[in-house]
């Protein structure tokens, strides 16, 4: 079975994307995967300064929580990013983390499969397209990895609102089926 890292990027207490991520995690664990959940709540993750020292050293010069997260991501088989959709894109904290994972680019990373879990107040199926496009762009930089699938739940805006929707059951099934 796979070593799965689920990174939740919402900073809101009781967020809908966190609730779906919890259900996905349960499904993945029940399927026999080893799953580690990393929340960005309370993490100190600074912006990438674009120095590119990490391309020579595979380490960031900034010393913050992104260092430990990058090491865990590097050693995972499967990655799941969970984000609320803000203004038709991924959360800013998710984008900041992706930028800070740049030291992995030339490393011997293990991850091969990448998934996205997203929630939004709007429910049109096109709503997560920019978030998907951004994550696919990141994945495309890692030639051994592939973007596999997205689970999107729209029409939820208040914290915990997703609990009343069938999507919590679908998130469990999505977790069960990840590779």
Query: CA 137 to CA 127: how far, in whole Å?
Result: 17
Left (φ > 0), alpha (ψ -120 to 50) or beta: where does 35 sit? beta
HSE at residue 179, side-chain half, CA atoms within 13 A, is: 10
- DSSP conformational letter for 41: T
Strand partners, 86: 89
In the predicted structure, residue 140 carries a pLDDT above the cut 90: yes
22-79 pLDDT per residue, tens: 999 999 999 999 999 999 999 999 999 999 999 899 899 999 999 999 999 999 999 9
Percent over 90 (pLDDT), the chain: 93
Fold classified for 3-177: Rossmann fold (3.40.50)
102-112 pLDDT per residue, tens: 999 989 999 99
When pLDDT is averaged across residues 114-138 and rounded to a whole number, the result is 96
Question: For the chain, what percentages of helix, strand and coil (3-state, to nearest 5) are there?
Answer: 40, 20, 40
Amino acid 179: pLDDT:
78
- Asked if 60 and 67 count as a contact pair (C-beta separation under 8 A), the reply is yes
- Asked if 144 and 106 count as a contact pair (C-beta separation under 8 A), the reply is no
Percent over 70 (pLDDT), the chain: 100
Using DSSP's 3-state secondary structure scheme, residue 42 falls into coil
Query: CA 175 to CA 171: how far, in whole Å?
Result: 6
User: What residues have CB less than 8 Å from 107, skipping those under 6 apart?
Assistant: 58, 74
| Contacts by residues 63-68 (CB-CB < 8 Å, ≥ 24 positions apart) | 66/97, 66/100, 66/101
């Amino acid at each position: 079975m796979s070593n799965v890292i689920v990174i939740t990027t919402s900073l809101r207490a009781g967020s809908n994307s966190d609730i779906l991520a919890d259900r996905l995690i349960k499904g993945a664990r029940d399927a026999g995967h080893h799953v580690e959940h990393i929340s960005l709540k309370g993490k100190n993750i600074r912006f990438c300064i674009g120095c590119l020292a990490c391309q020579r050293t595979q380490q960031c010069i900034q010393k913050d929580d992104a260092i430990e997260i990058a090491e865990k991501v590097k050693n995972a088989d499967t990655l799941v990013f969970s984000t609320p959709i803000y203004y038709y894109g991924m959360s800013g904290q998710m984008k900041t983390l992706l930028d800070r994972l740049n030291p992995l680019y030339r490393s011997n990373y293990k991850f091969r499969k990448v998934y996205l879990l997203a929630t939004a107040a709007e429910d049109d199926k096109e709503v997560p397209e920019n978030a998907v496009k951004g994550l696919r762009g990141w994945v495309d930089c890692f030639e051994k990895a592939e973007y596999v699938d997205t689970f999107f739940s729209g029409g939820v805006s208040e914290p915990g609102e997703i609990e009343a929707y069938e999507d919590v059951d679908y998130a469990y099934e999505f977790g069960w089926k990840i590779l």
